[in-house]
Amino acid sequence: MQVRRLSLRSRMLMFSAVCAVAALVAQGALFLRSSSAIIWQQAEEISVSALNKLQEELYTFHKGIENSLIQLYNQERLILDLAELGADGDLALLKESHGQTAFDLAHKAFVPLQNVTSLYIYAGSGQLFSYYRHAQTPKYSYPEDALAALEPDRREMITDYVASSERVMLLTSVSNESREVTLIRYVLKLYDGNSCVGFAICDVDPKPFSRMIEKSMYSEGQAIWLQPDGDRPALMLGGPDESQLPMFEAASLSIKSKEGLSGGLLKGRDYALHSAVGQKYNMSVYSLVPRSALEMNQQALLSNSLVAAAVIALSCVAMFAVLSATLTKPLTYMVRTMNAIKNGDIGLRMKEMGNDEIGELAAEFNEMLDNAALLLKREYDARLLANDARYKALQAQVNPHFLYNTLEAMSGIAASQGCPDVVTLCRALSNIFRYSLNFGAPLASLSEEILHLKNYMYVMNARTLGSVQLDITADPALLKSQMPRLSIQPLVENAINHGFRIKSEGAKKVAITAILSCGKLAISVEDNGAGMDADAINAELSLQAADAPPQGSIGLRNINARIKLLYGNEYGVAVESESGKGSKVTLTIPAIDQTI
């Protein structure tokens, strides 16, 4: 006789019942065998675990600050100038060359969550040459020179660190009287080889540390504080009432180790003191918890645990009964749908199943299928677009190899006959054909695009007797930026063939400008031709999605489609024009450097 297999719902109900009974039995046995010593030990373990976790979070934060400061080494000129400065160097030259360094570093290397309030960079002799102060106001001010504003003993601590052989970043604290807060201070030495040539001081607002400490506090009356080794406390949260506060202050000021706490504070175990030493940096975490708070928690737990266990057990049984009904039905439906898709019905999708995890799983599954289909379509469209561009380019260039050989022969004949203009023209045409038909590299640098454009304009001006004036403005730092091949020359060709077709008088000018704006590379082609219907063209380009290849044109629409396919719909081509005064076409792409 075949035994009937239990359903998923029946098994879940049985499991919940067994768990509830086991929980009640375990809870009773635990409290029968428990004692205050065990509770105390568990509290200590919780406290140590919380402090270790807090120390890990602090280490990650400290490491982030150090990584941001280390970016100073990316400025090789700065390190070399510091090394050459020496004790009697001209600080004015250093300020003139690198006075903006602290401001740039604060805005580029640090993130808002790090809450950097000020940053100072010094030469090895302690001379300040660059500083940054965040949100400086009369009410909330920071010193212009962090080292000079310190008390002699605090200043001596930093100068001793700079003069020492210690290479690990120094952590300390400094009081800001105007804001009435204590800032966490980081000091990082700058090396040229084995020689210390300077150092940076970075002050951080205590807010991120307070948030981390608050997450680690678990008991009323508990005090947690950060204290650099051998230094005064940097930040303290929580603590007892005012009558007991002196004891906590004495503990924080004299703490060296758990056994070295002065004043007999641990006598009779009235307080539990725990610590977590810094993994790398010289900042430890300390916690002081009154025993009364732990005993109060113990009594509350003892009186309520049995009642809570019973309520939880009954609730679990009821909850499992409801969940089993709501889970098994949609899961069965999902399995059937997946099997149907696996068997070939790829257009099938799961119906909406609510806002819970199963509904989210179904929606994610549908989205995964849609994305897979969209990626296949985009890949297909991209291939179509590339093939279309290749075909039209090949069609326009006729036979490239024949043209190459012919142009080389013409160049040789012209050179032998003493015709340098013809030689240059042939070479320009040959370069145009070679660049246009290089399909192995879909991307090119801005400098390559500009070189190709110059070859094209040389040929066009040879045809039109130099009637078109070309002006190119581009930051040298942008010349290595990557962009789709053949993106600029077709726009200039449009300006010549359409913008200047009916313009017979006056100078014909085309201006190319490349700028960096908000992390994007904007390349504009501006002419003083007849103009065009910019609104109609922009409307058409804005409706052209990345997965919709153009039909017919290899100009604006082809360039716009290729940019959207490569980088997304937020990039592309935009047109500005005024009838009779000219047009301006702007390409917007990400600023991608080929050297990265």
Q: DSSP characters for 126-193?
A: S-EEEEEETT--SSS---S-TTTTS-HHHHHHHHHHHHSS--SPEEEEEEETTTTEEEEEEEEEEEET
The yes-or-no verdict on residue 588 having pLDDT over 90 is yes
Question: Quick one: CA dihedral 559, 563, 565, 568, positive or negative?
Answer: negative
All domains in the chain, ordered by first residue? 7-327 (3.30.450.20), 438-590 (3.30.565.10)
Q: How far is CA 423 from CA 184, 420, 446, 461, 465, in A?
A: 69, 5, 26, 15, 16
The larger pLDDT score, comparing residue 87 to residue 125, is at: 125
Instruction: Please choose, from the candidates 162, 178, 68, the residue with its C-alpha nearest in 3D space to the C-alpha of residue 112.
Output: 68
Instruction: Please choose, from the candidates 521, 505, 511, the residue with its C-alpha nearest in 3D space to the C-alpha of residue 580.
Output: 505
Kindly report the backbone phi and psi dihedral angles of residue 200, in degrees, each rounded to the nearest multiple of 5, phi listed first: -120, 140
Q: What is the pLDDT of residues 426-447, one digit of tens each?
A: 777 777 777 776 666 778 899 9
Residue 506 pLDDT grade (very low, low, confident, very high; cuts 50, 70, 90): confident
The larger pLDDT score, comparing residue 316 to residue 165, is at: 165
Q: What pLDDT is stored for residue 504 in this prediction? A: 64
Asked if residues 525 and 505 have their Cβ atoms less than 8 Å apart, the reply is no
The yes-or-no verdict on residue 592 having pLDDT over 60 is yes
Lowest mean pLDDT among 9-23, 499-513, 525-539: 9-23
* Helix H or strand E segment including 377: helix 357-397
Q: What is the pLDDT of residues 76-108, one digit of tens each?
A: 899 998 888 865 667 888 898 899 999 999 999
Listed ranges 106-110, 530-534, 538-542; the one with the highest mean pLDDT = 106-110
Q: What is the DSSP letter of 506?
A: S
Average pLDDT, the chain: 78
Q: What pLDDT is stored for residue 1 in this prediction? A: 47
Q: What is the pLDDT of residues 390-430, one digit of tens each?
A: 555 544 544 455 566 566 667 666 766 667 777 777 777 77
Please compute the mean of the pLDDT values over residues 155-164 and round it to a whole number.
92
Q: What pLDDT is stored for residue 561 in this prediction? A: 85
Say how many Å lie between the first and final Cα of the chain, rounded: 71
Q: What is the pLDDT of residues 329-347, one digit of tens each?
A: 676 777 777 778 777 776 7
